[in-house]
Amino acid sequence: MHNDIEKIYVSENEINDMLNRLGKEITNDYKDRNPLIIGLLKGCLPFMSDLVKKLDFPLTLNYIKASSYQGIESTGFITIEGKVPDVKGRDVIVIDDILDTGRTLDSIRRVLVEHGANSVELCVLLDKPEGRKFDIHAKYVGGPVPNEFVVGYGLDYNEHYRNLPYIGVLKPRVYQK
């Protein structure tokens, strides 16, 4: 697995620093608001699991399964599987691995507002500002990455590499297999 990585963009230590900073920011803003934290499966998994351990105040967790990517290109639309969590009157924080075009989080945010959320903020580990096609802003961002396809710490290539503890770029030969 590690041999398939050409370059590491965000190391394990850097991810830890991001988690500590985001934990402080979110705690500061939400400690008395009993927020509902909604993760977008499956990319949110390692990030969400590590981040919520930095939030030492009452909150509840839920998930939405949404998808827009297959391989390394967008399929151009969003699908939500199953029921949307009950968000009526709640202060919601949506957690995802990466904000790229913004299509996914823009659609999810709209759906949650339509379902009666009191507020919706977005939290992503990574931001790819050059990929943006939708006018959307995440309040909580770990850090930026260049406009390249990255894997690791939740991000996959055809469902692999989510378990890498860092963020990296794959060697071109991996795509040629």
Q: Is 18 left (phi over 0), alpha (psi -120 to 50) or beta?
A: alpha
Nearer to ligand XMP, 68 or 118 (CB): 68
Tell me how far apart the alpha carbons of residues 108 and 50 are, in angstroms, rounded to a whole number: 22
* 132 closest CA partner among 93, 159, 158, 105: 105
Nearer to ligand XMP, 61 or 78 (CB): 78
User: Quick one: how far is CA 151 from the chain centroid?
Assistant: 12
In sequence order, the 6+-apart residues with CB closer than 8 A to the CB of 170 are 4, 5, 6, 149, 151, 157, 161
148 within 8 A of 5, measured Cβ to Cβ: no
- Examine the residue annotation and report whether 17 is marked as an active-site residue of this protein: no
Nearer to ligand XMP, 60 or 158 (CB): 158
Nearer to ligand XMP, 91 or 100 (CB): 100
Task: Enumerate binding residues for ligand XMP (CB under 6 A).
Answer: 43, 68-69, 74, 96-104, 149-151, 155-156
Active site residue: 29, 100, 127, 135, which one? 100
Which one-letter amino acid corresponds to residue 29? D
CB of 128 to ligand XMP, least distance (A): 6
Which one-letter amino acid corresponds to residue 14? E
Q: Mind telling me the catalytic residues?
A: 100
